[in-house]
């Protein structure tokens, strides 16, 4: 198996970790609180204050990226194990832990969802979280099968997968591949043009902001921009979207069939309305199920 650095240099993988290292610089308590609230909602942690916690439960962050949601899980009282294929992502998460949770029960290491030997040594967890990760492995269904085995009986699997838009998805795959095989000037152009395209149906003021965002222009401001949903950064999400390669997609019914056949039941679903972006799922493991073949690609 190639390491992430080799793949990035060959133009076969986006430097996800480098983007996350940049994102870590803008993480603050507001972003952490936003991420924690979104995690609480998706996992259905409701009721009295003690019902909105993960005290005593184990949480696996498979492909931890910046580590923001590992940090959110620690804030909710979970015992967290995080790993990522990209050493820069591991470094980003480690920096977040140093800054915000130095004494937490939070382990971070290098590992891959495509390494069966590594996964076999992890055990099982009450919550397995892998948001926006599996579709960047180059082997989506293998990666999804791997993380399902890590969910304990009665546990939750919280994932997101890019929506299959047919021709549009294939077009974006070509853009992403071109980005990773280009120099700095063309990469900047692709980000700028993509920002304009993504904002094409919005008011003129929003379009102007998108152009400024895509070209990296930042006007002086007295405070940082408000975080996006889940505590994310608009700028870093845009770069991740344009450059994020490998890139795979799936229809909601494909994900649903694959996981229900493996003993899971859907507990939470947020779709992107048939458009661009990720469909978000939370499944509960209620049985052993059977091995269901992946959809044909």
Full-model pTM: 0.89
Higher-scoring residue by pLDDT: 49, 58: 58
| Cα four-point dihedral sign 34, 39, 41, 47 | negative
Given a contact cutoff of 8 angstroms between Cβ atoms, the answer to whether 194 and 238 are in contact is yes
pLDDT, averaged across the chain = 89
One domain, residues 52 and 33: yes
Count of all residues that appear for the chain in the document: 297
Closest residue by Cα to residue 86 from 161, 21, 27, 131: 21
Given a contact cutoff of 8 angstroms between Cβ atoms, the answer to whether 150 and 116 are in contact is no
Q: Is residue 293 in some structural domain?
A: no
Task: Of 78-92, 185-199, 218-232, 257-271, give the lowest mean pLDDT range.
Answer: 218-232
Query: pLDDT value at position 293?
Result: 64
One domain, residues 139 and 237: no
Query: In this structure, are strands 278-285 and 264-270 parallel, antiparallel, or unpaired?
Result: antiparallel
Q: Is residue 160 in some structural domain?
A: yes
Nearby residues of 212 by Cβ (< 8 Å), 6 or more positions away: 218, 219
For 185-244, write each residue's pLDDT tens digit: 999 999 999 998 888 766 555 545 545 555 555 544 445 555 667 888 888 999 999 999
Q: Is residue 292 in some structural domain?
A: no
Nearby residues of 131 by Cβ (< 8 Å), 6 or more positions away: 69, 158, 159, 160, 230, 278, 280
Query: pLDDT value at position 114?
Result: 97
For 125-180, write each residue's pLDDT tens digit: 999 999 999 999 999 999 999 999 999 999 999 999 999 999 999 999 999 999 99
One domain, residues 185 and 153: no
């Amino acid at each position: 198996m190639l390491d992430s650095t080799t793949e990035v240099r060959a133009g076969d993988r986006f430097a996800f970790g480098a983007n996350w290292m940049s994102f870590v610089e803008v993480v603050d308590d507001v972003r952490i609180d936003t991420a924690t609230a979104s995690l609480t909602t998706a996992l259905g942690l409701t009721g009295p204050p003690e019902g909105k916690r993960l005290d005593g439960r184990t949480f696996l962050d498979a492909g931890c990226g910046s580590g923001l949601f590992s940090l959110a899980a620690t804030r909710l009282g979970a015992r967290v194990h995080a790993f990522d294929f990209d050493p820069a992502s591991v470094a980003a998460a480690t920096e977040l832990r140093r800054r915000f949770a130095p004494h937490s029960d939070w382990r971070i290491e290098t590992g891959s969802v495509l390494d069966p030997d590594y996964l076999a040594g992890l055990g099982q967890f009450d919550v397995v979280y892998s948001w926006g990760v599996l579709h960047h492995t180059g082997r989506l269904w293998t990666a999804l099968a791997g993380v399902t085995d890590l969910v304990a009986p009665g546990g939750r699997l919280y994932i997101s997968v890019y929506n299959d838009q047919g021709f549009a998805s294939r077009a974006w795959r070509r853009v992403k591949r071109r980005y990773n095989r280009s120099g700095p000037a063309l990469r900047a152009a692709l980000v700028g043009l993509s920002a304009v395209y993504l904002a094409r149906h919005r008011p003129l003021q929003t379009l102007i902001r998108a152009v400024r965002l895509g070209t990296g222009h930042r006007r002086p401001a007295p405070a940082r921009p408000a975080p996006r949903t889940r505590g994310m950064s608009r700028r870093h999400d845009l770069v991740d979207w344009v450059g994020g390669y490998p890139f795979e997609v799936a229809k909601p019914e494909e994900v649903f069939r694959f996981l229900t056949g493996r003993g899971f039941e859907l507990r939470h679903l947020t779709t992107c309305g048939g458009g661009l972006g990720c469909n978000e799922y939370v499944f509960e493991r209620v049985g052993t199920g059977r091995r269901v073949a992946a959809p044909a690609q």
